[in-house]
């Protein structure tokens, strides 16, 4: 229903009929599987070692992980208000377009098309490839081959339809969470008092580097915002979307606290800091060499889980972009039979394959993809947080089924932490970041050369 205070122009005469749009088919549990599956990715198997190396005590580590959960929850509540007030497959694209105009929306959608989801899919493909290669190596370019196969297979699963995509996600998430719980159980029940590994206590920092610690923590919590892209496909979004976000992040926070306790019990703080593969070292300590194979399989499953969720949600923005933009009209076609944006999925898959090739050429696929995506990702995160303030001011009469608690302090916390992580991502990344920002600049040139203004999507 269009709100009287909306500033959007009328829908284009060529706008799609309602039957060619997303249908509400996702339950609260489906959304939770998406969120948990994206957030509990490969980061929890490596980031704790980096955090331990910059923390003075286990208490500080646990405080940082708890703070990360609260900051993520603050951001999730902002997204819950935006997603329930403006449910649309475009997610951030739709909010930015309403708040700042179609040019900002265009640039964000361009970033989603060429940088953020495709880069994340390629990154996760490399994570899967690195660990799958520990079990079965496919030659000199094994990781890249596995990454390419991951992109193709998950794209095809989601082309088959939303039901195939969501059930694949649900099953992978169950396996992923079960695997993390296995690590927690093995560490807490079988681990003993550690001598601290290869690093002596004197080599640990005397004071916690909170800034660097929080960067790693927040990167490990990343991905919950993808729920916004299925807001138009959630049954009863006003109630179920905020609930799914809250319980997903509560579950993730509890899991992260417990898994760090398990690592610490097995390896000790110094042992965690010395480890290059903290999860593998922890399981090896309690289960022997079989533990290394178990963790390789677990990380591979986690990467697949996050990749499938990113494939599913990433194509939704591309669909919304094509729905509104004449020059990308082909991407805005919705397959009503399979409840999926088929063309958007195909194009997203092709771009992800090209990025897999870029990673293979640089011979550092994972690092290159992190650098490629991070600065652009945090830039638009900041703008989305600001969009909440703009839309509250501009459209005060808008029906808001869910409102951010403790407004304006909650969104201010979200915007501040996102701005800090934008700064950190620019400072700490290299050539890959320049490539990502260069592709965003190319999008600005495409915007300047666009022959006619974008049409407006129906509200």
pLDDT tens, the chain, 459 aa long? 334 444 444 444 344 444 466 777 788 888 888 888 888 876 787 778 888 888 888 999 999 999 999 999 999 999 999 999 998 877 888 899 999 998 998 998 888 888 888 888 888 888 788 778 877 888 888 888 999 999 999 999 888 887 787 788 888 888 888 888 888 888 888 766 543 443 344 466 778 888 778 878 887 888 888 777 777 788 888 888 899 999 999 999 999 999 999 999 888 888 888 876 677 788 888 888 777 788 778 888 888 888 888 888 888 878 888 888 888 888 888 888 878 888 989 999 999 998 888 777 765 655 566 667 778 888 898 999 999 999 999 999 999 999 999 999 999 999 998 898 888 777 765 566 677 778 888 988 988 887 555 554 445
| In 62-191, beta strands by DSSP E | none
* Dist. CA 385–CA 102, nearest whole Å: 17
CA distances 374 to 46, 87, 119, 204, Å, are 18, 26, 10, 28
* Dist. CA 3–CA 21, nearest whole Å: 20
Q: What is the pLDDT of residue 363?
A: 57
| In 191-316, beta strands by DSSP E | none
CA dihedral 302, 295, 219, 39 (to 10 degrees): 30
Q: What is the pLDDT of residue 304?
A: 85
* Dist. CA 213–CA 417, nearest whole Å: 13
3-class secondary structure, 65: helix
Question: pTM of the full predicted structure?
Answer: 0.76
- Asked, as a colleague might, if the bond just before 408 is cis with ω within 30 of 0, I would say yes
- Give the CATH number of domain 25-449: 1.20.1740.10
Contact 120, 108 (CB under 8 A): no
76-113 as b/e: b if 16+ CB within 10 A? bbbbbbbbbbbbbbbbbbbbbbbbbebbbbbbbbbbbb
Q: What is the pLDDT of residue 317?
A: 79
- The ranges assigned to domains in the chain are 25-449
Residues 6+ apart with CB under 8 A from 183: 259, 262, 279, 282, 283, 295, 298
* Dist. CA 459–CA 456, nearest whole Å: 9
Residue 140 structure tokens: 């000199």
Task: Quote the longest CA-to-CA distance of the chain.
Answer: 71
Contact 421, 212 (CB under 8 A): no
Which among 451, 452, 441 is positioned nearest to 110, based on CA atoms? 441
Residues 6+ apart with CB under 8 A from 65: 217, 253, 256, 257, 260
Residue 288 structure tokens: 């022997």
């Amino acid at each position: 229903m269009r709100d009287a205070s909306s500033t959007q122009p009328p829908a284009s005469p060529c706008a799609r009929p309602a039957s060619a749009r997303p249908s509400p088919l996702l339950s609260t549990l489906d959304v939770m599987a998406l969120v948990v599956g994206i957030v509990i990715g490969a980061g929890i198997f490596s980031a704790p070692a980096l955090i331990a190396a910059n923390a003075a005590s286990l208490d500080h580590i646990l405080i940082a992980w708890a703070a990360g959960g609260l900051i993520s929850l603050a951001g999730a509540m902002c997204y819950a208000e935006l997603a329930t007030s403006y449910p649309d497959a475009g997610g951030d694209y739709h909010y930015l377009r309403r708040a700042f105009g179609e040019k900002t929306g265009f640039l964000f959608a361009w970033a989603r098309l060429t940088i953020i989801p495709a880069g994340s899919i390629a990154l996760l493909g490399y994570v899967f490839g690195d660990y799958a290669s520990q079990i079965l190596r496919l030659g000199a370019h094994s990781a890249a081959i596995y990454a390419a196969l991951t992109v193709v297979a998950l794209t095809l699963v989601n082309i088959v339809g939303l039901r195939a995509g969501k059930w694949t996600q649900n099953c992978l998430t169950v396996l992923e969470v079960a695997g993390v719980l296995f690590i927690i159980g093995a560490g807490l029940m079988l681990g003993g008092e550690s001598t601290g590994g290869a690093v002596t206590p004197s080599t640990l920092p005397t004071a916690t580097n909170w800034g660097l610690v929080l960067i790693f923590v927040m990167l490990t919590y990343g991905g919950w915002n993808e729920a916004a892209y299925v807001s138009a496909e959630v049954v009863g979004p006003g109630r179920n979307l905020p609930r799914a976000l809250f319980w997903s992040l509560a579950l993730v926070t509890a899991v992260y606290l417990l898994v760090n306790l398990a690592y610490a019990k097995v390896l000790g703080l110094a042992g965690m800091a010395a480890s290059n593969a903290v999860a593998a070292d922890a399981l090896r300590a309690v289960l022997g060499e079989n533990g290394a194979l178990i963790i390789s399989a677990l990380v591979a499953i986690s990467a697949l889980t996050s990749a499938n969720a990113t494939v599913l949600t990433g194509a939704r923005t591309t669909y919304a972009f094509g729905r509104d933009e004449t020059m990308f009209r082909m991407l805005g076609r919705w397959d009503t039979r399979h409840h999926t944006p088929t063309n958007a999925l195909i194009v997203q898959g092709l771009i992800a394959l090209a990025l897999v090739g870029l990673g293979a050429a640089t011979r550092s696929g994972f690092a290159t993809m992190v650098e490629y995506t991070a600065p652009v990702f945090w830039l638009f995160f900041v703008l989305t947080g600001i969009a909440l303030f703009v839309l509250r001011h501009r459209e005060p009469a808008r029906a808001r089924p869910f409102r951010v608690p403790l407004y304006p302090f909650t969104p201010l916390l979200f915007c501040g932490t996102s701005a800090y992580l934008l700064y950190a991502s620019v400072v700490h990344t290299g050539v890959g970041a320049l490539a990502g920002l260069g592709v965003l600049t190319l999008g600005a040139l495409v915007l300047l050369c666009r022959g006619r203004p974008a049409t407006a999507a129906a509200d």
